[in-house]
């Protein structure tokens, strides 16, 4: 039987939660005393505990109690209930061993979903005898039992666990979120997961890539336009803000928006009103904004590319998605998930990955991160006959070249050691190689760091016979 303990000093909260959860087949006990709760935990194993944060117990408040329960029963998933949501306090609870938190007033569907997710978490992490539960937003479960929810794969690495804890903290709030991370790390997947766990989950999720939008097009895509407002505007268009009304708007590569669009965006966020291009009518909008960037926005502010006031308006909470090279423990989970997805697409069984290929994956730097891995798995499964072993030979040449030693030009000082030209060439060669290694041989980033354009860098690579 799946056992739950409810700890709250309001009797109607206890009885309501007990009624809701017992209808779902849970074994539920309640108490309004922290001291009594500790005695109950010592006498009976509770797999999940709902504990009120503002517990009016002279001896045990909610913060102390949840920590002590965690020490007594580390495998128990503790869910904090609070009517005063504060992300900083919630983070401290997570650090002290809590599994998740929920804000009051409580809704039946929310409580049931949270309880089932807690039992699933226990089954995955601790191997308890619980019945797995698939939430409506779950699309697949891989061999290790880690969920792929809205395209998001739960990892087992410490970096992944920390990310998932922070997602659990921020998702139920209405805070604006900045998601940072390298290209291909899955920033949109994280945004969708935040939306799916929020109170807006039944409303639209609208994603817009700002990376390639011109100034005029960005205004139209974000705010909409009236027919005839500019050349090519042959019809009235609803913008992303209005499409996402009531739900979540995700702006990817937000740093690429022009300065004038940033000004307009800041005004919309402050006024919560949208005026389409060519219109004099303002329309109220209610959205939660999540933005993402693979560029450091603080550096963009210093460079004059991003408005400081907009940054502070957006920066209510920041998440950093770790690169794949820092979460290699998760490789088997990602591989298993992507292989199963590809098998479904191809309608045929794929063979196993060879030990040599898996070893190569664990030593590769993955500059394209999860997106690169996913595309590689799809390519490998397509090109390898059904049920045949997927081997190293399937790797594209650019990937194998990345593992080959870089051919360096050895500059021989044919004349005296004080030949300034030769010494300068050698120093330049060493500097370029150092920067290239730092940026994983990304030439665009290397050129930017050395304050030269790409053409100049290519000329120097050719002159110094550096092949990368």
Stretch among 48-52, 79-83, 233-237 having the lowest mean pLDDT: 233-237
Residue 128 has pLDDT above 60, yes or no: no
**List of E strands, 71-132:** 77-82, 100-103
Domain's final residue, options 81, 111, 133: 133
- pLDDT, one tens digit per residue, over 215-265 is 778 888 899 888 877 766 778 888 899 999 999 999 999 999 998 999 999
387 with 351: CB under 8 angstroms?
A: yes
How far is Cα 87 from Cα 316, in angstroms, rounded to an integer? 10
What is the reported pTM? 0.58
CATH of the domain at 9: 3.40.50.2300
Residues 45 and 129 in one domain: yes
Comparing 73 with 58, which gets the higher pLDDT? 73
Range 193-222 average pLDDT: 88
How far is Cα 278 from Cα 455, in angstroms, rounded to an integer? 41
Residues 339 and 465 in one domain: no
In a domain, 144, yes or no: no
Residues 306 and 451 in one domain: no
Domain's final residue, options 288, 320, 352: 320
In a domain, 152, yes or no: no
The tally of domains found in the chain comes to 4
Residues 177 and 307 in one domain: yes
In a domain, 108, yes or no: yes
Residues 62 and 86 in one domain: yes
Three-state secondary structure string covering 213-276: CCHHHHHHHHHCECCCCCCCCCCCECCHHHHCCCCEEEEECHHHCCHHHHHHHHHHHHHCEECC
Residues 257 and 361 in one domain: no
Residues 83 and 200 in one domain: no
Residues 342 and 373 in one domain: yes
Question: What is the domain range of residue 384?
Answer: 324-401
Domain's final residue, options 91, 109, 133: 133
Strand pairing report for 273-274 and 283-284: antiparallel
Helix (H, G, I), strand (E, B) or coil at 95: helix
- pLDDT, one tens digit per residue, over 111-123 is 888 888 788 777 7
CATH of the domain at 367: 1.10.8.60
In a domain, 424, yes or no: yes
How far is Cα 458 from Cα 192, in angstroms, rounded to an integer? 39
In a domain, 191, yes or no: yes
Percent of the chain with pLDDT over 70: 84
CA angle (178 as vertex; 176, 182 as ends), nearest 5: 160
Nearest to 341 by CA among 388, 394, 382: 382
Residues 458 and 368 in one domain: no
Residues 419 and 370 in one domain: no
Neighbours of 405 (CB within 10 A): 5
Residue 416 has pLDDT above 60, yes or no: no
């Amino acid at each position: 039987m799946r056992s739950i303990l409810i700890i709250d000093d309001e009797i109607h909260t206890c009885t309501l939660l007990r009624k809701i959860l017992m209808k779902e087949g849970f074994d539920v006990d309640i108490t309004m005393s922290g001291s009594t709760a500790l005695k109950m935990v010592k006498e009976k194993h509770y797999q999940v505990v709902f504990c009120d944060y503002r517990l009016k117990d002279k001896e045990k408040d909610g913060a102390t109690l949840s920590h002590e329960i965690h020490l007594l029963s580390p495998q128990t998933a503790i869910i904090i209930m609070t009517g005063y949501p504060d992300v900083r306090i919630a983070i401290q609870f997570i650090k002290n061993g809590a599994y998740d938190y929920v804000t009051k007033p409580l809704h039946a569907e929310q409580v049931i979903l949270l309880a089932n997710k807690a039992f699933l978490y226990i089954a995955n992490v601790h191997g308890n005898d619980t019945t797995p539960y698939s939430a409506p937003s779950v699309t697949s479960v891989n061999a290790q039992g880690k969920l792929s929810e809205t395209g998001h794969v739960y990892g087992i690495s410490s970096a992944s666990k920390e990310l998932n804890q922070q997602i659990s903290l921020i998702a139920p709030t209405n805070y604006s979120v900045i998601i940072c991370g390298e290209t291909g790390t899955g920033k949109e997947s994280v945004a969708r997961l935040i939306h799916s766990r929020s109170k807006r989950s039944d409303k639209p999720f609208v994603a817009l890539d700002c990376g390639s939008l011109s100034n005029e097009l960005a205004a139209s895509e974000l705010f909409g336009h009236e027919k005839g407002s500019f050349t090519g505007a042959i019809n009235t268009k609803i913008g992303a803000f209005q499409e996402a009304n009531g739900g979540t708007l995700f702006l990817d590569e937000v740093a690429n928006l022009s300065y004038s669009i940033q000004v307009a965006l800041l005004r919309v966020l402050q006024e919560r009103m949208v005026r389409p291009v060519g219109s004099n009518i303002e329309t109220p909008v209610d959205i939660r904004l999540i933005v993402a960037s693979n560029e450091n926005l603080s550096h963009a502010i210093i460079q004059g590319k991003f408005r400081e006031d907009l940054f502070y308006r957006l920066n209510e909470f920041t998440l950093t998605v770790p690169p794949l090279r820092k979460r290699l423990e998760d490789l088997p989970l990602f591989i298993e998930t992507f292989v199963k997805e590809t098998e479904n697409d191809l309608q045929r069984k794929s063979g196993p990955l060879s030990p040599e290929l898996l070893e190569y994956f664990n030593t590769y730097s993955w500059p394209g991160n999860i997106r690169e891995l996913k595309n590689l798995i799809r390519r490998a499964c397509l090109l390898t006959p059904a049920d045949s072993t997927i081997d190293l030979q399937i790797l594209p040449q650019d990937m194998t070249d990345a593992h080959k030693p870089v051919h360096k030009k050895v500059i021989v000082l044919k004349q005296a050691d004080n030949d300034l030209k030769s010494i300068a060439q050698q120093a330049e060669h060493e500097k370029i190689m150092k920067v290239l290694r730092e940026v994983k041989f990304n030439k665009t980033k290397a050129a930017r760091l050395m304050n030269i354009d790409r053409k100049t860098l290519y000329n120097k690579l050719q002159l110094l016979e550096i092949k990368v």
